[in-house]
Every structure is written in structure tokens, then in C-alpha cells.
Chain A
């Protein structure tokens, strides 16, 4: 953990430059460029609002906000993983030529998606205002669940980036796992919908704790209990410890397998 922090600090300029490069390349060929980072989530939100606000009506009030409060962090999670799983393999050329800390590649992939995620909160806030949904003061509490989410994503990213070097199937399997994980997490529904006797199973899902704070502060306007905050941060720290542990264990052999 200490080593990881030091590497990230030492290479902060390179990580930032690589993250910006990723964003630039992503939006380079489009006329609107960076505007897509805002427009894309906005359009998605408008579609969801129309679908759930007029066509499929749910018993949940303002379902679109309810959904988006967790869907946006979830989308960040899946996109960060999709980018970082390929990050070491995709930079094979560089790994074979210069000596740099290999963590910079998955970290840069996560950072570029953090930027994208933070930008997507702007259209969400706009939507909240347009729908005349209250913009709860608890929004200012968002950095706390974000910390848990970012740590959890970083740990998972490091783990996947490392094992994908040895088993390239991971980048395919991960998409299936993520879609199963999506339905297993209470994103489109609430945990209350699950019969009490099965609920323990859903409580084994770390994503439940990681995402919980987002819905509470954006949709309900509540602060989570201390235990819930602790759980979210614990999941994040555990993921980083495991992910970085695996990454560090195998990073010296990456160059022979990429």
C-alpha cells in the first residue's frame, strides 16, 4: 500500500498525461470532442427518464434519479475495468522498451474514467433541477462514497490487468461477469424488493456497500450510517490490498508474457 502510494506520487505527472491522452484519443475524432463526456450521460439519462417516467411506471417516485444515482457510479466501474484490463497488455511496446513502474497503466485507466465520471455528475445535477427533484445538501457528502468506489475500482483494475497478461480470456469473461454482477447489485431495484430470507446473499456483494452512499445522498438526501461508510471503505481497501498484492507479485514477469 505504501509502495503503491509512492509509485502513484512519483509518477503522478506521467499518470495524468496518460489519462489525458486516453480521454483525448477517445474524443479526438468527434466534432464535439470533450462535450461528449457531458452529452453522452445526459442523453442516456433523458432516455431513461422518458422510459421510466412515462412508458414504464414504477412504484418508486422519480425512478430515473433513483436509478441514475447508482447507475452512474456503476458505469464508471465497468468502464474503468474495461479500460484497465487491457492496460498492461496494450502497452506491451512500452514495457519492453523503458523501465517504468507498471502500475501507471491501470492507474491511468482508472484516473481517466474518474474524470469522465466527475463530468457526468454535472448533467445529473442538471437533470435533478429540471425534474424539480430536490438537490439535496447531502451531495456535498459524495466524496466519501467516491473514495470507497475509486479504491474498489483501483484494486479490481490492478488485479484484472495483472491476470489478463497471463490469461487473455479475462478481457472477454469480464464483460459477462459484469453484466451478471449488474443484476445481482441493487441498481435497477432496491434491496427492499428482495425477500428477507434471501437478503443475506445480496449482502455478500461488496458493490452493495460501495454504491449505497451514492443513492442515499443523491436520491434520499440521507447520510449513511457509520457502519455503512466503514464497510464501503473496507471493501475499497481490501480490493486494493488484494489487487496490488497480485499485481506486485507478478509485475516483473509481465515483460516476458506481453
Chain B
């Protein structure tokens, strides 16, 4: 995969015939004993599973792309390939610019550490420098509405506070490309409004966003273009209304998928 600095070119993400293969091992030799046992039996007990099958698409600079599909269709895998977590088994992926994942908020949080300490670690994990973080610290705390609790360990936070802080850190990162995986159900109505606003301002500043969601209302509201993924294949690519209608068809009549396109 090639990672390049942001360029003037209009396409910031490009997938060409990308395959992500997982080796599903039925009895994974987690221990040496099993490895020895397997060596003796000489039996190979795995099968390969393609979570993403020959997917190609381009994402224009400044656009908002939605990925929809049923559970287990490969949407999040595509997001993780963009984030650089997985190296694809074959095909070509080009990503121009910095990427920040909003994948499962608070993954890097440590419960014993205070909110402030977690802001630092999470920010560094997302690629900020210490100086950037210290500069933005107050605006993160204000946005997350944490107040004086910022110096208490996060294990004492309510789940709402926890999610708000994670959201605030991830969106303060200010990447060229923001990846959003089903997270906007954060906090109460008031905070959701702030989140929506922040997402919109992201768009206004010409950033690229890729979002995975099951909330069709949000997808049609925010996205310029939607990809429908089914069983690892790209089924549709186009205007939100059209692709969402196809998705609803698919969910209601799974058998209506054209045979040629089924995996």
C-alpha cells in the first residue's frame, strides 16, 4: 500500500481490485502443544475467507462517502484497510493525506489514568505531537463537557462522559481523512447536535470523510455518495437515495441479489 502526503490531485483514496483474505483456522495452534500435535498429524485445519473481494473505487477529495451493507459484509474491514491496520492480500490501495480513525471510541483509554492523561496518550496514538495536544487540550475538555472531572481517572466517568471525551479527542486531531465507524449515537440530543455540527464543519473545510453506518437517515443526510457492500463485494456505487433503496431491497429480499454478483 502506498501512503502519500496530501496532494492537489482530486482522488485521495483509491482501491484497485483489493482483496482482503483472512485465514480462518478452526483449531488455531495457540499453544506449542497444539502446534506439535498438528505437526504430528500433519493436518491443516483452516480455510481462507475473503472479507473483501476485488473491490475498486476512488474517493474524491472533500467528499463524504458512506459504506452500507448488512452485518459482516466487509464494511469495517474496508475502513481498516484505509486506516492502514490491515495490509490487503492483493490489489492496490493508495491513500493521500493523514487518516484518523474514529473507530470504536476510546480504544486507547486506560481506566486508571485521568482524562487529561488519556487525552495525551490517545492524541499521540492518533498521530498528534505532544505540543499539538497541549494546545488543543482545553478545547477538547470544553467540547466534551468534562469540566473538573478531567483530573479524575476515567473509570469514574459515566459512559456518556467517556464517549464524549473520546469523540472530542478524535475529532480534534484534524486529519485530511476522517474514518467514522458507527459512532454518532454518542450522548444526549444536545451533544449529538454538537457532533453533527462538528462533522458538518469538517465537510465545509474540505476534508474527506468515510463513514460506516446502519442509520440510513444519517447516511442520506451526510453522504455525497454511497457504496453498498454485500458479502465482501461492491454491489452498488452511486447517489445515496438510489443505493439506500437497493440496500432496503437487499435486506427485505436477500434472494433478489443477481446471481452473477453473489460471492
* A contact set with B: CB distance below 8 Å: 13-14, 17-18, 21, 24-25, 28-29, 93-100, 167-169, 252, 255-256
With known contacts A14-B125, A167-B32, A167-B35, A97–B104 Cβ distance under 8 A:
yes
CB of B124 within 8 A of CB of A95, answer no
CB of B120 within 8 A of CB of A169, answer no
A residues in contact with B87, CB < 8 Å: 252
B residues in contact with A25, CB < 8 Å: 110, 112-113
* Contact among A18, A24, A168 for B112, CB-based, below 8 A: A24
B residues in contact with A28, CB < 8 Å: 112
CB of B112 within 8 A of CB of A95, answer no
State in angstroms the CA–CA spacing of A128 and B91 once bound together: 64
CB of B31 within 8 A of CB of A13, answer no
CB of A97 within 8 A of CB of B112, answer no
The smallest beta-carbon distance between B116 and chain A, in angstroms, is 12
Confirm or deny: B59 has a beta carbon within 8 angstroms of a beta carbon on chain A: no
With known contacts A17-B124, A93-B107, A98-B125, A255–B117 Cβ distance under 8 A:
no
CB of B125 within 8 A of CB of A100, answer yes
State in angstroms the CA–CA spacing of A169 and B101 once bound together: 33
The smallest beta-carbon distance between A124 and chain B, in angstroms, is 29
* Contact among B32, B103, B130 for A97, CB-based, below 8 A: B103
The smallest beta-carbon distance between A116 and chain B, in angstroms, is 18
CB of A255 within 8 A of CB of B85, answer yes
* Contact among A17, A95, A167, A252 for B121, CB-based, below 8 A: A17
Q: Which residue of B lies closest to A170 (CB)?
A: B32
Confirm or deny: B108 has a beta carbon within 8 angstroms of a beta carbon on chain A: yes
Confirm or deny: B126 has a beta carbon within 8 angstroms of a beta carbon on chain A: yes
Q: List 10 A-B contacts (CB under 8 A).
A: A17-B124, A17-B130, A25-B110, A97-B104, A98-B125, A167-B32, A168-B31, A169-B33, A255-B86, A256-B23
State in angstroms the CA–CA spacing of A24 and B29 once bound together: 35
* Contact among A18, A21, A97, A99 for B107, CB-based, below 8 A: A97
Confirm or deny: B188 has a beta carbon within 8 angstroms of a beta carbon on chain A: no
State in angstroms the CA–CA spacing of A99 and B129 once bound together: 16
With known contacts A14-B124, A14-B125, A252-B87, A21–B110 Cβ distance under 8 A:
yes
A residues in contact with B117, CB < 8 Å: 21, 24
State in angstroms the CA–CA spacing of A167 and B117 once bound together: 33
CB of B113 within 8 A of CB of A169, answer no
CB of A98 within 8 A of CB of B107, answer yes
Confirm or deny: B80 has a beta carbon within 8 angstroms of a beta carbon on chain A: yes
State in angstroms the CA–CA spacing of A169 and B34 once bound together: 11
CB of B85 within 8 A of CB of A13, answer no
The smallest beta-carbon distance between A111 and chain B, in angstroms, is 14
With known contacts A21-B113, A98-B125, A256-B22, A169–B31 Cβ distance under 8 A:
yes
The smallest beta-carbon distance between B253 and chain A, in angstroms, is 34
With known contacts A21-B121, A256-B22, A97–B30 Cβ distance under 8 A:
no
Confirm or deny: B83 has a beta carbon within 8 angstroms of a beta carbon on chain A: yes
A residues in contact with B33, CB < 8 Å: 169
Q: Which residue of A lies closest to B118 (CB)?
A: A21
B residues in contact with A97, CB < 8 Å: 80, 83, 85, 101, 103-104, 107-108
State in angstroms the CA–CA spacing of A99 and B82 once bound together: 10
State in angstroms the CA–CA spacing of A21 and B108 once bound together: 12
B residues in contact with A169, CB < 8 Å: 31-33
Q: Which residue of B lies closest to A100 (CB)?
A: B125
* Contact among A21, A99, A167 for B84, CB-based, below 8 A: A99
* Most A-side CB within 10 Å, residue of B33, B117, B121, B124: B124
Digit string of B173-186 for contact with A (CB within 8 Å is 1, else 0)? Answer: 00000000000000
A residues in contact with B85, CB < 8 Å: 95-99, 255
B residues in contact with A100, CB < 8 Å: 125
* Contact among A98, A252, A256 for B108, CB-based, below 8 A: A98
A residues in contact with B32, CB < 8 Å: 167, 169
Q: Which residue of A lies closest to B29 (CB)?
A: A167
State in angstroms the CA–CA spacing of A228 and B125 once bound together: 41
List 17 additional A-B contacts (Cβ < 8 Å) besides A13-B129, A94-B108, A98-B101: A13-B124, A17-B130, A18-B121, A21-B110, A25-B113, A28-B112, A94-B125, A97-B80, A97-B108, A98-B83, A98-B108, A167-B35, A168-B31, A169-B31, A169-B32, A255-B85, A256-B23
The smallest beta-carbon distance between B41 and chain A, in angstroms, is 18
State in angstroms the CA–CA spacing of A94 and B104 once bound together: 10
State in angstroms the CA–CA spacing of A255 and B101 once bound together: 16
With known contacts A98-B83, A98-B125, A17–B104 Cβ distance under 8 A:
no
The smallest beta-carbon distance between A26 and chain B, in angstroms, is 10
State in angstroms the CA–CA spacing of A81 and B119 once bound together: 28
A residues in contact with B101, CB < 8 Å: 97-98
A residues in contact with B124, CB < 8 Å: 13-14, 17
